[in-house]
Structure 1
């Protein structure tokens, strides 16, 4: 459950909401609106001459120079072409400007300037070495009405308190128990696909289905059972709670991609139809969570953390994170805070997993030899028994496919930070040796997309090569970067920011790193392994027809439509 993922609703402040997305397989997703369409490949460096910039572009740059032009010293400046930022995801433009201006640059836009970071050395400084000099800034402002004081938008004091309580919940025995939940929910999806094939709608032993919608349903079921012991069963049915969950997810994404926070205006929640619906959806979910919290507290079995971490989860009726949080001695908390915690995990842990699985299949479908290699590994490791952790440890190639999909399509593509006090950033690779002074209040975009596709830190950065994570990489010419070394984090099942020295940040890094990273990675591994064990998958059309849109995470425009057939 990628709680960095909401970093899950990473704001892209300049993009408008557009492009309806249709999900025939998931009624709750019908009518969803997405951002403007972008092909799955970035364009080359933006070389629009300044003379060709329009009146809006020039006015925006002038305003920036007047209000914030001198506040960031000699940092390279990507003067905002406002018109470049409409019509495609922000992270594409940030990548183009990264190639043109370097790993740390100022993005001038309207009344404000942002610092864009695309360098692991600088990212390490912000996320780990000087982490408490920064908060979530505009991200927290957007998410607070939805997540309250959950881990992501929480102020520093609340975060420190809740982190100490929540982190122990993701202990080894709980994660092992959750593998059974991952398997159960994945088997629902497998059974549904088998039923669709049996109907023979296409006259052959295959079905055409939107796998992105199916993965979305699957991820929601896993979060429901694993976090608060509630079975959405969204793979097979639709309920008011499921509709409300999707409505809230969509509003979180809408707010993360809309430039003007009109929802803060007086009376908006009663006047604007989508805001009325949002508050109605929020009430449905909150009522559901309140009921679950009440039931959990009525059956509370208080114990110390150590005893809770030694429970026999296989025999526990409701082996959920909620059960752990309620039973923890000395961690008494009001229902509102507990509800905020659960809401945060619901929002943060849902779409990220669906997106990881979507792009994993998208990449494999274009690389049949890698798909066959993955299926051969699955066949050699899995039996008909329920998957266990020992088997997952043997699925090395499947795990590398998941992390390579996260490298190419990071969820989210941006992290947001705001400086709480003045700081001095390192110059990074090919940056100013003396670094860059930034004043308090500076908003920073950590471009995970740029880090993961940087030609300076990755060989063939745009290629799908899961094997790359098994090979050490060191570049002596990059001062301050320790390179990529799988042995740097012994025992880790998945590559992480330590192994890559912050050139790979699928779940952030430092103290505010996602607490549910192993949960998210293991559920993705189980789901992908079981899918490949049963089916061959190919895209219905050309890869170019799978258009990319983004908001909180990177999605397709109209679903990942695939031809799914039983393996022979």
Structure 2
């Protein structure tokens, strides 16, 4: 379950991120582009560069008074201590009128793997290279914390795993990670399936009603439906609570969504006004946010109290050997409460649960949304996936064993995460002076950085880098089956054999060129949960229905603040598949 709020701190106004509808394309220079100036036939929403834009590009990069002032402030107040490295100067004016991620990608191609981004009184180091990412996330992980990200999330998640300081994180990680063991995940496959069936039955019932009126299709916002599904799964799997959000609405559900919206608001707003004294009581949306938090916290407190009253204390090994398929409460909360020798206070448990609720909910909904978006534009790949589902499942339901056999569907999920990473940025702050590797085509001596340096690891740039991926903008799930040797010094290439038995490609297989859940010690603890959940939900949907976009891909506008999601929903047409097709 990757971080839900992941982009930026409201303390830095230039980091308000909004994507336009052509986000699904990276813009490569002619030398790096797999399309050589022509549009990608797989994506109708590509914006192609042409030679006629050269003069405009040069003009746009001329320094303005604002740019000079911004870079002067950066160097004077914070940037002067950073060792020599490429600088994306003129950053302020370049941001006006276009999405941040286009600029981050353009500067990556222009300046290389590591560059300094000047934003007024702040300087940010942007990393778009697996060698440097591996160093920060794994090789020297404890010299960095979450920095900006923790500032945003602390009011919501407290000392949960994502925003926690290193000491708290080390303690809670040792407790929580064993909870995601194999028998628990096997039991969760049933939860994933039951919740997905609830969703597909809802669609079936609507289609039956439409059939009585002579219609054979329905139009639904699948992003909203996936969001409800993910909430139900998190509720049951993590703390044994049935939100029932696929079919109903409750005060707790409203509060959860209110909290999600506020988290996104804080990640993209210009000024952190909520830190002003009394803002929580004087500003209506902040009063609502406090009320929403109280509703959720009261619900979680009740569940924690109930779990403690029915505690059956046991050692970790015995907890991992329980018959999770046949016990009444197989939730992660039950595991945490029953663990012998770990008596976390209610506040810490609540922070843990809130973190998993917020982080795990939005991420899965986003993965499913973009998987459907991509498949709808590639009907042959959708048919191939449906054929595999029919072969493996027939008319049956998914199980842990059947997930292992749904190889192509699992690759669709990870390829969707490559093109639409959740989160698109990983944020770190250096705790002490350090020297980063130069990365591909960077300074061989590396780059010295002072303590307190804010770093953006651009997962989006990594996943679409023309230096580490073939045809980086194409939707090709099959790419993960092919070994790719490396011609880059310091990067080991792509080799599935490096992670034997792994159900899904990961950062080890790709040597940190693929980071859907981060990497190193602070990698997302619930990655397998989220991937399996997405696979089951997609299987149950495609088993029953043919799915098409209601309009063109261009009509699906993209925005981000928490995860990458749509501006107005993913509206699709659903038809029942012929009974003889599966």
TM-score, normalising length: structure 2: 0.91
Q: Which residue does 1:341 correspond to in 2?
A: 352
Aligned Cα root-mean-square deviation (Å) = 1.7
Q: Separation in 2 of the partners of 1:334 and 1:86? A: 47
Superposed displacement of residue 178, structure 1: 0.4
Alignment of 1:81-100 (within 5 A): 81-100=91-110
Would you say the 8 A contact 1:91–1:414 is kept in 2? no
Superposed displacement of residue 6, structure 1: 3.4
Q: Which residue does 2:330 correspond to in 1?
A: 319
Q: Which residue does 1:448 correspond to in 2?
A: 459
For residue 415 of structure 2, the aligned residue among 404, 408, 416 is 404
Q: Separation in 1 of the partners of 2:110 and 2:543? A: 44
For residue 500 of structure 1, the aligned residue among 510, 518, 533 is 510
Would you say the 8 A contact 1:216–1:351 is kept in 2? yes
Could you report, residue by residue, the CA deviation over 1:415-442 in whole angstroms, capped at 9, with x for unpaired residues?
Answer: 0000000000000000000000000000
Would you say the 8 A contact 1:210–1:561 is kept in 2? yes
Structure 1 position 282 matched with structure 2 position 293: yes
Structure 1 position 125 matched with structure 2 position 149: no
Structure 1 position 304 matched with structure 2 position 326: no
Q: Which residue does 1:550 correspond to in 2?
A: 560
Superposed displacement of residue 72, structure 1: 1.7
Q: Separation in 1 of the partners of 2:324 and 2:450? A: 49
Structure 1 position 392 matched with structure 2 position 392: no
Does the residue aligned with 2:193 lie in a helix, a strand or coil?
helix
Does the residue aligned with 2:81 lie in a helix, a strand or coil?
coil
Worse-superposed segment, 356-365 or 36-45: 36-45
Q: Separation in 2 of the partners of 1:197 and 1:511? A: 47
Ranges in structure 2 where 5+ consecutive residues have no aligned partner = 30-55
Ranges in structure 1 where 5+ consecutive residues have no aligned partner = 18-33
Superposed displacement of residue 84, structure 1: 3.3
Change (3 A) 1:51 1:236: closer
Q: Which residue does 1:436 correspond to in 2?
A: 447
Superposed displacement of residue 197, structure 1: 1.4
Would you say the 8 A contact 2:157–2:352 is kept in 1? yes
Does the residue aligned with 1:415 lie in a helix, a strand or coil?
strand
Could you report, residue by residue, the CA deviation over 1:182-212 in whole angstroms, capped at 9, with x for unpaired residues?
Answer: 0011011101111221221884211011100
Would you say the 8 A contact 2:426–2:459 is kept in 1? yes
For residue 367 of structure 1, the aligned residue among 352, 372, 378 is 378
Alignment of 1:86-485 (within 5 A): 86-200=96-210, 203-476=214-487, 478-485=488-495
Q: Separation in 2 of the partners of 1:510 and 1:306? A: 24
Q: Separation in 2 of the partners of 1:272 and 1:555? A: 27
Superposed displacement of residue 391, structure 1: 0.7
Superposed displacement of residue 213, structure 1: 0.5
Q: Separation in 2 of the partners of 1:225 and 1:11? A: 31
TM-score, normalising length: structure 1: 0.94
Q: Separation in 2 of the partners of 1:234 and 1:427? A: 48
Q: Separation in 2 of the partners of 1:385 and 1:307? A: 32
Could you report, residue by residue, the CA deviation over 1:329-363 in whole angstroms, capped at 9, with x for unpaired residues?
Answer: 01101000000000000010001000000000000
Would you say the 8 A contact 2:6–2:427 is kept in 1? no
Worse-superposed segment, 438-447 or 259-268: 259-268
For residue 22 of structure 2, the aligned residue among 23, 39, 59 is 39
Would you say the 8 A contact 1:16–1:35 is kept in 2? no
Count residues in correspondence: 549
Change (3 A) 1:16 1:277: farther
Would you say the 8 A contact 1:88–1:549 is kept in 2? no
